[in-house]
Amino acid sequence: MTVALRRTLTTLLFAPLLVQPIEAQVANGRQPVPPDRVYPIDPMSVPRPSMPAVRVDSPVVIDGILDDPAWSMTRPSGDVWIQTMPDLGMPASERTSIRVLYDDQNLYVGAVMYDSDPYHLSVPGLEQDFDTPNSDLVGVALDTYHDRQNGFLFAVNPGGAVFDGQASNDQRDLVPAWEGIIHVRTSVNDSSWIAEFAIPFATLRFSPVDGEQVWGVNFSRRIRRRNEDAMWAPVPPQYRIYKFSMAGTLDGLSDLPRARNLWVKPYALGDHLDGVRVGASSTEWDGGVDLKWGLTPRMTLDLTANTDFSQVEVDAEQVNLSRFSLFFPEKRDFFLENEGTFGFQDVSIRNYRTGSSPRNFRLFHSRRIGLSPTREPLPIGGGARLTGRIGNDTEIGLLDMQTRSVGSSADGAGYIAENFAVARVKRHLAGGSSIGGIFVNRQDTGGQGTSDYNRAYGLDANVAIRQNVLLSAYWARTDEENPTGEDANIGMVQTAWRSAFWDVSGLYKQVGDGFNPATGFIDRTAVRRFYGTVGIHPIVRRVGILELNPYIDFDAYQNLDGALETRLVEVGTAVSFMNGGSLNLTAAQRYERLFEDTNIGGAAVTVGEYEWLEPAVTLTTPGNRRLSGTLAVRWGDFYDGTRTSISGSVTFRPNQHLSLDAGAQHNDLELGGSSFTADLFTARVRYAYDRRTFFMAFMQYNESSEELIANARFNLIHAPLSDVFLVYTERRQLGSGVTDRVLERGVTLKVTKLFAF
């Protein structure tokens, strides 16, 4: 749908909320419309821009000022940046200039963000991977192989904090846990803020060809107080800067270095443990090493020995009021890096309403490695991972990890050593499509006369029928020594269409009663699922409203005999405000059929059919303000009783150094003939002395388990990608009838050092 047709339809549907005419926008002080182009433009049809990178003979001094003589060797980009929001297709309200240089070691980017009010820049934090939605920033996305699919993302805020990530599959997957060495300095003056950064070529992966090569590139800028996003190579609002198929080009790069790309990162660790669950207190010293080796420009080998994740933040507690298992996300950097390569799962695509996500199904979920079912860490002896490409189109991933035995499994108090192996291959096709296969094996290696195994294998495809129409499908099967059912297969087909105005998708999935991915996650088995949604996204830009998103969802589950188990019909409207806040209003008609007595939230609900109406309201205030928060209310009948749920969080950020967060969830239930509450309380403090020194404390109280969990962490980055961690963790039993006691308590000191060759 063209911009003109979409705006015509919006006018007919929402006449009282018409957009201001362009003349009024200019009169209100926005950037004047250039005379040589008609605005608003259609981002899908405008030609992609290009810019040169200029070689310099000596390193550039990174100080955030751009006064190095090398910057005078190139002109800043003169392109007009185009808004993605709030005024799609219009020129950015403030000018941005970009220069790119390079030498034998680094790629340099110099960015000047002109600003009529630089004293109201939003800087929510100085930590790595800062809160980008609520920050002013400038970003660069580099498609170093120019395959229009994969690359690297770097964003910098005015305080000099860096967000970096690895993007793949043309924006479908982003791994923020990826980290690379990057040198950044920023400065703020009366008319602009400046970002100057050097990206070592050793941080990137690219083809080391002789002569000139071309990279894909895009730049973005966020002006948070105006809720404005603008890009150098414009894209529609449903996409992000790492939509590489719509990027511009960076040319002029030639004779780039052939780095050895060998990183070695040893660690030393000491910890003290005590508590009821630990037994006698103990103090231990340990060590290990991680190695990253770029075997070829497109293939990377990661090795790890005596792997440790003691510095990772504890899981956020959850209240389970469903009859299905909860999903806990992976937080360990080693497994998050290149996670997209191994992804075989339900598809969740940013800004598409698909009705599914990896929280519903993953054939491989790395949390099964080195963590018990109760989320206790298990020792990992070591492992290896090989990821990369063969040629331009074939992506491979190989992973092998070995855990060690803990305690005695004979009495159920321990865990047998296991080996986990994963092999993944994907073939990338034209237009962003791909087909692939995967094999996952989990094998007991404890040497105690057992040989339990669980294997999974499957095929998947993601097809881009058009620029904004996607088709996804997969089939997989599991094999194990003692099957739990007759049908060990799963299959899914899904299609989604997302334009700037329309949002339509549909899904069908069938899961057998014997499908059991022991190295993965599945929320429901022995079901057939049918899902469909239709929604629209009219741009309003009046009375404080930016966009409306009315929609209707239909979701149904049948058992394998065709009997209806679950049905959801939800009507809702999401309102996005010009200031960055939002309001969601929903009304859901729910149906549940229980074929056996079921425990829900700790209460026994008897066999039967249950149907109820569940309204909900969620309000989120702008996150760039000193005080912000979210409030959600859900109420109505619930199975054979009622439920009222109130949850909320508040964040106080007095400056870029300090952030205070508090949250609460209160559930008041009448269920199974009894009345009870299920509450959860959290509090978090973050303090950044500078961009290298951080302190974080996280406290949680789960009323259901009557446990208080505290986690405090000090982090000093003493060299690039090299850290000192001091971590304190405590789990304490509270509650009526229970003596206050420490279940687990530990203090850990961990030091890492990266050596790059």
Assign 722 a pLDDT band (cuts: 50, 70, 90).
Answer: very high
Give DSSP secondary structure letters for 531-576.
Answer: EEEEEE--EEEETTEEEEEEEEEEEEEEETTS-EEEEEEEEEEEEE
Owner of token pair 């009821």: 276
Per the rule left: phi > 0, alpha: psi between -120 and 50, beta: everything else, 222 is beta
> Are 188 and 121 contacting, i.e. CB atoms less than 8 angstroms apart?
yes
pTM for the model stands at: 0.86
Q: What is the CA radius of gyration of the chain?
A: 27
Assign 204 a pLDDT band (cuts: 50, 70, 90).
Answer: confident
* Lowest pLDDT segment from 447-461, 504-518, 528-542: 447-461
- Cα distance between residue 745 and residue 732, in whole Å: 8
* 567 CB neighbour count, 10 Å cutoff: 17
In the chain, what percentage of residues exceed pLDDT 70?
93
pLDDT for 9: 44
Segment (H or E) for 339: helix 339-342
- For residue 612, pLDDT over 70 is answered with yes
Q: 719 is written with which tokens?
A: 């060299």
- Cα distance between residue 381 and residue 306, in whole Å: 5
What are the residues facing 98 on neighbouring strands?
A: 111
- For residue 371, pLDDT over 50 is answered with yes
pLDDT for 34: 57
- Residues 286-293, mean pLDDT to the nearest whole number: 93
Write the single-letter amino acid at 236. P
Assign 352 a pLDDT band (cuts: 50, 70, 90).
Answer: confident
Task: Enumerate helices (H) and strands (E) in the chain, giving the number of each.
Answer: 4, 44
pLDDT for 410: 55
- How many CA atoms are closer than 13 Å to the CA of 590, on its beta-carbon side? 18
Peptide bond preceding 86: is omega within 30 degrees of 0, i.e. cis?
Answer: yes
How are beta strands 521-522 and 361-362 bridged, if at all? antiparallel
| Contacting residues for 51 by C-beta, under 8 A, at least 6 apart | 77, 79, 98, 100, 217, 248, 249, 250, 251
Q: What is the pLDDT of residues 489-498, one digit of tens each?
A: 999 999 999 8
Length of the chain: 757
- For residue 116, pLDDT over 90 is answered with yes
- Cα distance between residue 246 and residue 463, in whole Å: 17
pLDDT for 411: 54
pLDDT for 325: 83
- Cα distance between residue 516 and residue 456, in whole Å: 9
- Cα distance between residue 82 and residue 92, in whole Å: 5
Peptide bond preceding 40: is omega within 30 degrees of 0, i.e. cis?
Answer: yes
What are the residues facing 263 on neighbouring strands?
A: 292, 756
Assign 406 a pLDDT band (cuts: 50, 70, 90).
Answer: confident
Which residue, among 15, 45, 130, 32, has the nearest Cα to 90 in the 3D structure?
Answer: 32
DSSP-assigned letter for residue 191:
S
- Cα distance between residue 648 and residue 482, in whole Å: 45
Segment (H or E) for 11: helix 3-13
- For residue 739, pLDDT over 70 is answered with no
- For residue 1, pLDDT over 50 is answered with no
- For residue 622, pLDDT over 80 is answered with yes
- Cα distance between residue 98 and residue 75, in whole Å: 9
> Are 34 and 91 contacting, i.e. CB atoms less than 8 angstroms apart?
yes
Write the single-letter amino acid at 14. F
- For residue 3, pLDDT over 70 is answered with no
Q: 185 is written with which tokens?
A: 């300095």
| Contacting residues for 556 by C-beta, under 8 A, at least 6 apart | 529, 530, 531, 564, 566, 567, 568
Q: Hey, where are the domains in the chain?
A: 31-254, 318-521
- Cα distance between residue 511 and residue 526, in whole Å: 5
pLDDT for 25: 31
Which comes out higher in pLDDT, residue 19 or 659?
659
* Lowest pLDDT segment from 27-31, 454-458, 734-738: 27-31
> Are 84 and 236 contacting, i.e. CB atoms less than 8 angstroms apart?
yes
- Cα distance between residue 717 and residue 720, in whole Å: 7
Q: What is the pLDDT of residues 260-283, one digit of tens each?
A: 678 999 999 999 999 887 777 889
pLDDT for 27: 32
> Are 85 and 234 contacting, i.e. CB atoms less than 8 angstroms apart?
no
- Cα distance between residue 271 and residue 448, in whole Å: 30
The CATH architecture that domain 31-254 belongs to is: Sandwich (2.60)
How are beta strands 299-307 and 741-752 bridged, if at all? unpaired
Write the single-letter amino acid at 658. L
* Lowest pLDDT segment from 30-39, 63-72, 138-147: 30-39
- Cα distance between residue 446 and residue 229, in whole Å: 54
In the chain, what percentage of residues exceed pLDDT 90?
61
Backbone phi, psi, residue 748, to 5°:
-130, 135
pLDDT for 202: 85
| Average pLDDT of the chain to the nearest whole number | 88
- For residue 506, pLDDT over 80 is answered with yes
Assign 552 a pLDDT band (cuts: 50, 70, 90).
Answer: very high
Which residue, among 205, 188, 181, has the nearest Cα to 136 in the 3D structure?
Answer: 188
CA 559 to chain centre: 32
- Cα distance between residue 491 and residue 216, in whole Å: 36
Backbone phi, psi, residue 234, to 5°:
-65, 145
- For residue 441, pLDDT over 90 is answered with yes
Q: 616 is written with which tokens?
A: 């909900």
Q: 425 is written with which tokens?
A: 């291959």
pLDDT for 408: 65
Q: What is the pLDDT of residues 689-712, one digit of tens each?
A: 999 999 999 999 998 888 899 999
> Are 404 and 379 contacting, i.e. CB atoms less than 8 angstroms apart?
yes
